[in-house]
Amino acid sequence: MSETVAETEYHSLHHMLSDAAWDFEKVRRETARQADDLIGRPEAGLLLDESGFEKKGDHSAGVDRQYNGRLGKVENSQVGVYAALAHGSMAAIIDFEWFLPKDWVADTKRCREAGIPESAQVFRSKPQMAAEMVKRARAAGVRFGFVGADGLYGHATWLLFDGDDAGEVFATEVHSDQQFYFADPGKAWVPAWEAREWAARLKRKEWHPVILRDGEKGEVRAMFAHTRVWIRHPNSAQARPWHLLARRDGTKVKFLLSNAAPDTPLAELARMQAQRHFIERAFEDAKGCCGMADYQVRKWRAWYNHMALVCVALLFLVKERRQHSPYAELLSCADVFDMLVAQLPMKIHGREDLERIIAERHARRQSARDSAYQRQPPAPKNAIRVC
């Protein structure tokens, strides 16, 4: 940023991001309030998901060998859990939590060096973080009609039961081996089914074509099937009747559980399932236009500060899209970003500016290198140098 934006200076920006004691919590709450003004309504969804950021080394707060959805594999990464408020094609990230693996929680010294406060040195699963985000959104008065999430959260059946107890409507994807019953297993013995087994036995007439939205390459369509099932509580014999939905795109089938009212039509269940697409779009815009994954910070506070600023920037882009939508229907966040780049003053105007920026970059690199050499213990006197 300091090399691009006019009238900025590296050390000031670094201090603001890493060390300055401004309150990211207040920024997060204000972002949620303004997002609610823009998007919030009874039909909106609060969408939950995680995102991973590949990182080298082992000093950055929370970095560990863990599944990175962005890469589709286990890799050395940091992972954050996020909540986005979405309606239609508009989505804004309003909450975030940084996932601390168990290995970190067990290492107090490592946590202290990474600036992690004692109150945060507690292991919380991603579904536990998601549950806290739903409660925070409700406490802040954010308006949404359902909670949506992928199979990681749907697999945590306790999360669905707790949400049901709290009066939340959810529409959450579940794994293909999700077990259910066609009658209350607490009243009589009934066989358990798996979602994939049910889908494999469906007849052609039980699949219904649904047009979900207008896409870039035509209408987005899918086939849906629906039934009512009983789901057992993971820690007791209690079971509840919910909706089970199957979505088929070609040969790929996804499954969804929802505790929506029993008479909820298939079209509404399909809409809630399809809405989850837009937290993925929010991630794409946040990473492509707002630098969500392009941070070079190691400490706990700096990560939260960075994510708070990313949410502010993304909300600004969404506001611009909404404001101009009456006469620029296809305007994207990337379009707004390019408009800003074309209008805002930049730091590099010619060769002299470029040479100065490179010289400053090299000076910082040399300073970091000198510091690393000073911290490194001396090599043995009999060490052989090959370079």
Q: What is the largest CA-CA distance in the chain?
A: 82
Pairing of strands 170-174, 146-149: parallel
Lowest model confidence (mean pLDDT) among 50-64, 176-190, 213-227: 50-64
Domain ranges across the chain: 1-150+276-363, 169-267
Range with the largest mean pLDDT of 66-70, 99-103, 252-256: 252-256
**In 3-state terms, the chain is what percent helix, strand and coil (to 5)?**
40, 25, 35
Q: What pLDDT, on a 0 to 100 scale, did the predictor assign at position 133?
A: 97
Element (H, E) at 225: strand 218-232
Q: Does residue 387 register a pLDDT over 80? A: no
Tell me the mean pLDDT in the region 42-63: 87
Q: What pLDDT, on a 0 to 100 scale, did the predictor assign at position 9?
A: 82
Q: What pLDDT, on a 0 to 100 scale, did the predictor assign at position 244?
A: 98
* pLDDT tens track for 120-146: 999 999 999 999 999 999 999 999 999
Tell me the mean pLDDT in the region 3-18: 83
Q: For helices 126-139 and 157-165, give the axis angle rounded to 10 degrees.
A: 20
Going by pLDDT thresholds of 50, 70 and 90, the confidence category of residue 296 is confident
Range with the largest mean pLDDT of 62-66, 218-222, 255-259: 255-259
Rounded distance, CA 71 to CA 126, Å? 18
CB distance 15 to 355 below 8 Å: no
* pLDDT tens track for 84-93: 999 999 999 9
The alpha carbon of 134 is separated from its chain's Cα centroid by a whole number of angstroms, namely 14
CA nearest to 267, candidates 212, 215, 195, 203:
212
Q: Does residue 287 register a pLDDT over 80? A: yes
Residue 256: what are its φ and ψ, rounded to 5°? Answer: -140, 135
Name the token pair of 88. 């239609």
C-alpha distance from residue 38 to each of 31, 87, 142, 312 (Å): 11, 10, 11, 13
Q: What pLDDT, on a 0 to 100 scale, did the predictor assign at position 317?
A: 95
User: Who's near 80: CB < 8 A, 6+ residues apart?
Assistant: 50, 51, 53, 96, 97, 98, 99, 303, 307
Rounded distance, CA 241 to CA 253, Å? 22
User: What's the one-letter identity of residue 210?
Assistant: V
Lowest model confidence (mean pLDDT) among 7-11, 58-62, 178-182, 330-334: 58-62
Q: For helices 300-324 and 24-39, give the axis angle rounded to 10 degrees.
A: 20
